Amino acid sequence: MDELIFKVKGSSSDPYEITFIKDGSSLTAICTCPAGTFGNLCKHRVAIIDGDTKSIVSDNVNQVPKIAEWLRGTDVEIALTELRAAEIIKDFPKDEIKVLKRNLARAMNT
């Protein structure tokens, strides 16, 4: 099992902590922001998965590419791909987008 922890600037005065855990073909991503704490999809985890380092305040920005490596072949990658495909369809039902966001959050939390 491998683990990486990033601190990111958010709306709180204290940074949020995002923990990525790679265990075999499973990737877990936990964020201490309000959305993440309640098991919802949060922008902080997705930003790091996308390689966006702008909000990272910890000194391990150079480890962000490792997350993209860990993503490959996981249920998180599948859920993220499904959500992004739906989001580019102009008339895709919003309630189905919500379901896909919940699926992605669930995949990250397991």
Predicted structure pTM score: 0.91
What's the pLDDT score for residue 90? Answer: 86
Tokens of 31: 């964020």
At position 69, the amino acid (one-letter code) is E
> What is the pLDDT of the chain when averaged over all its residues?
94
Summarised one tens digit per residue, pLDDT across range 42-87 is 999 999 999 999 999 999 999 999 999 999 999 999 999 999 999 9
What's the pLDDT score for residue 73? Answer: 94
99 lies in which domain range? 2-108
Dihedral pair phi/psi, residue 19, rounded to 5° = -110, 125
Total number of domains in the chain: 1
